[in-house]
């Protein structure tokens, strides 16, 4: 069967505030995105995931939506969006939007109406409760810190918020909420968007009995423990407390019925896709009736990508997926440290970042890349609390200064490492003031990383054949030209190797591809287990092209090798 577009596509996440500034006000916008469509086409990606572009007061950088069918005025107009969509489609690039279903902004008109009085018809659109003995209804907590209940002084009741108090949870048990949100879904699908990334999908329902959580540590204690944890056992204990703390607030069974309804809606459109921001494969349903994809987040939850880690991840993940479900891999997004820093070792960061990309583009499943990765952008350590835009970073700072008594300089350092601002800085387009993101006299919404002046920018890298950018282009082209890398199955090779990750991708049409990544700084031998010769399709070591190996390949330090097994009788591609 012919694969669906989203199974063969490489997705590229655009963080609109930081991607490209078309009107020179220091804030990325849709005009800028339109200007860069040729860049995206030339890069070789197939689809864009656009982080929220809706009007928002930005308490959570756009994940607090104030109008689900609008466009943030600082990003442009609906007409601009339509132009962007048409321009993307003309270039064969699909566009999926971020859909924040769990909560709205506290300034969304629905919430303003809801909080305006206990008997307002929209009161029940959100989760309102009476207090309990002068305090909140129960001990549930917000993941962004403190109680999950906020008292509304005017009406004397509490509303529930899993995230910031500026992000009240919608009451999805109210059919009117579902109808309003499904109308918004239809609005965008009717406009021609190609699907949605579903934000925080597991948090939509809570346990209706609302039992108290039974964690024995407070959030502050857990934070302190995390700062000091060194052993696996300590991390496990923290994880268990964390689980207990939120066990009644997420991943409720009711969600599956809702996902089935959403899928049925989306299936009325020919090609739309749903990608859940969750790692829980239960959201695939029976493989055909809930989400098309969920992220393989477990893959990225490691300080170091090792062959053993990836092999274990692939084996457990791929075997667990129900029939019909399709894997989806990523190593970075707007919530996590940049790949370059996350998996770097401080000495071989550039090489390791290339290995990470090779991994994304050769593992079985749809890859999601994050804007800026392609030029090797790195985390920026902010050195002034006044520069922080991410309130989660501000909260991390408050914990240090007000609860843990950390000295100011150290507290700032901890917060700078924690804030998600570090990976959200403006894209570095050129070696020019403000990295060419916005004019020299304008202050960008977040500071640009000064390493744009050291060659980490699109225009310099464009001209350097060995740059990260040209490596991305080349790898993306290679993937596109090699069907086995896109649709082939996954079979580990030489599983005993501690340094080389190797696997075969075999397509149903017979094409096979051997992928070998030497993740170590030592030369290593790989036993391919193959009798015939292997034609090198790609290697980071140019001289490799001349060598066709039999049974064994000697890989140079950090070599990325992709080859096609040849059989003497049947020739290329028969594996």
Binding interface with ligand NOJ (CB under 6 A): 60, 63, 100, 163, 199-200, 277, 334-335
DSSP, collapsed to helix, strand or coil, labels residue 263 as: helix
Shortest separation between residue 57's beta carbon and ligand NOJ, angstroms:
14
Q: Which residue has the tokens 């008109």?
A: 109
Instruction: Considering the complex, state which of residue 366 and residue 482 has its C-beta at the smaller distance from ligand NOJ.
Output: 366
Catalytic residue, candidates 150, 166, 169, 277: 277
Shortest separation between residue 406's beta carbon and ligand NOJ, angstroms:
24
Q: Quick check: is 64 catalytic? A: no
Shortest separation between residue 409's beta carbon and ligand NOJ, angstroms:
27
Q: Quick check: is 569 catalytic? A: no
Angle at the Cα of 39 (from 37 to 40), degrees rounded to 5?
65
Residue 49 CB partners (closer than 8 Å, separation 6+): 11, 12, 13, 14, 96, 97, 98, 197, 275, 368
Tally of CB atoms within 10 A around 572? 12
Instruction: Considering the complex, state which of residue 159 and residue 561 has its C-beta at the smaller distance from ligand NOJ.
Output: 159
> Which run of H or E residues covers position 535?
strand 534-539
Q: Which of 112, 280, 93 is nearest to 200 (CA)?
A: 280
DSSP, collapsed to helix, strand or coil, labels residue 494 as: coil
Instruction: Considering the complex, state which of residue 21 and residue 64 has its C-beta at the smaller distance from ligand NOJ.
Output: 64
Shortest separation between residue 203's beta carbon and ligand NOJ, angstroms:
8
Instruction: Considering the complex, state which of residue 60 and residue 400 has its C-beta at the smaller distance from ligand NOJ.
Output: 60
Residue in the shown chain whose Cβ atom is closest to ligand NOJ: 63
Catalytic residue, candidates 150, 199, 206, 373: 199
Strand partners, 135: 132
Shortest separation between residue 336's beta carbon and ligand NOJ, angstroms:
9
Question: What is the radius of gyration, based on Cα positions, of the chain?
Answer: 24
Q: How far apart are CA 272 and CA 150, in angstroms?
A: 37
Instruction: Considering the complex, state which of residue 277 and residue 460 has its C-beta at the smaller distance from ligand NOJ.
Output: 277
H-state helical runs in 304-448? 307-320, 339-342, 349-362, 391-398, 408-418
Instruction: Considering the complex, state which of residue 203 and residue 378 has its C-beta at the smaller distance from ligand NOJ.
Output: 203
Residue 100 CB partners (closer than 8 Å, separation 6+): 52, 63, 64, 65, 199, 200
Shortest separation between residue 277's beta carbon and ligand NOJ, angstroms:
6
The catalytic residue positions are: 199, 277
């Amino acid at each position: 069967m012919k694969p669906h577009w989203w199974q063969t596509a490489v997705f590229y996440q655009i963080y609109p505030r930081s991607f490209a500034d078309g009107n020179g006000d220091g804030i990325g916008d849709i005009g800028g995105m339109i200007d860069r469509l040729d860049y995206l086409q030339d890069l070789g990606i197939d689809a864009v995931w656009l982080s929220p572009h809706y009007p928002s007061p930005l308490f959570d950088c756009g994940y607090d939506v104030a109008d689900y069918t609008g466009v943030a005025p600082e990003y442009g107009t609906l007409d601009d969006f339509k132009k962007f969509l048409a321009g993307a489609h003309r270039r064969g690039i699909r566009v999926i939007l971020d859909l924040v279903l769990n909560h709205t902004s506290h300034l969304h008109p629905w919430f303003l109406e809801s909080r305006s009085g206990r008997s307002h018809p929209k009161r029940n659109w959100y989760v309102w409760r009476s207090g309990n003995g002068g305090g909140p209804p129960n001990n549930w907590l917000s993941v962004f810190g403190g109680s999950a209940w906020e008292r509304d002084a005017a009406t004397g009741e509490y509303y529930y918020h899993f995230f910031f108090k500026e992000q009240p949870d919608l009451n999805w048990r109210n059919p009117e909420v579902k109808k309003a949100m499904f109308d918004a879904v239809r609005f965008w699908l009717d406009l021609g968007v190609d699907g949605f990334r579903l934000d925080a999908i597991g948090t939509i329902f809570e346990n209706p009995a609302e039992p108290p959580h039974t964690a024995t540590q407070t959030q502050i204690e857990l934070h302190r423990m995390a700062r000091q944890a060194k052993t696996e056992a300590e991390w496990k204990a923290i994880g268990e407390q964390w689980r207990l703390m939120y066990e009644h607030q997420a991943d409720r069974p009711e969600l599956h019925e809702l996902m089935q309804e959403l899928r049925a809606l989306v299936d009325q459109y020919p090609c739309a896709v749903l990608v859940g921001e969750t790692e829980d494969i239960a959201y695939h349903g029976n493989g055909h009736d809930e989400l098309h994809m969920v992220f393989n987040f477990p893959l990225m939850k490691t300080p170091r990508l090792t062959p053993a880690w990836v092999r274990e991840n692939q084996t457990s993940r791929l075997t667990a997926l129900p029939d019909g479900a399709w894997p989806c891999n990523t190593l970075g997004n707007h919530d996590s440290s940049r790949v370059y820093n996350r998996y770097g070792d401080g000495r071989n960061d550039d090489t390791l970042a290339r290995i990470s990309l090779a991994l994304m583009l050769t593992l079985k499943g749809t890859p999601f890349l994050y804007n800026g990765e392609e030029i090797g952008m790195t985390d920026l350590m902010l050195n002034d609390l006044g520069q922080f835009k991410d309130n989660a970073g501000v909260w991390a700072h408050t914990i240090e200064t007000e609860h843990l008594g950390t000295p100011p300089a150290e507290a700032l350092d901890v917060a700078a490492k924690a804030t998600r601002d570090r990976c959200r800085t403006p894209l570095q387009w050129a070696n020019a003031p403000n990295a060419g993101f916005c004019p020299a006299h304008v202050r960008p919404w977040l500071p640009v990383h000064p390493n744009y002046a050291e060659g980490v920018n699109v225009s310099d890298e464009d001209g350097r054949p060995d740059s990260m950018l040209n490596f991305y282009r080349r790898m993306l082209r290679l993937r596109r030209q090699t069907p086995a890398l896109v649709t082939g199955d996954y079979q580990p090779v030489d599983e005993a190797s501690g340094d080389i990750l190797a696997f075969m991708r075999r397509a149903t049409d017979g094409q096979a591809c051997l992928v070998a990544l030497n993740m170590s700084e030592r030369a290593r031998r790989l036993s391919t287990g193959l009798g015939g010769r292997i034609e090198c399709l790609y290697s980071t070591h140019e001289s490799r092209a001349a060598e066709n190996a039999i049974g064994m390949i000697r890989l140079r330090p950090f070599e990325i090798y992709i080859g096609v097994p040849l059989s003497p009788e049947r020739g290329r591609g028969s594996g």
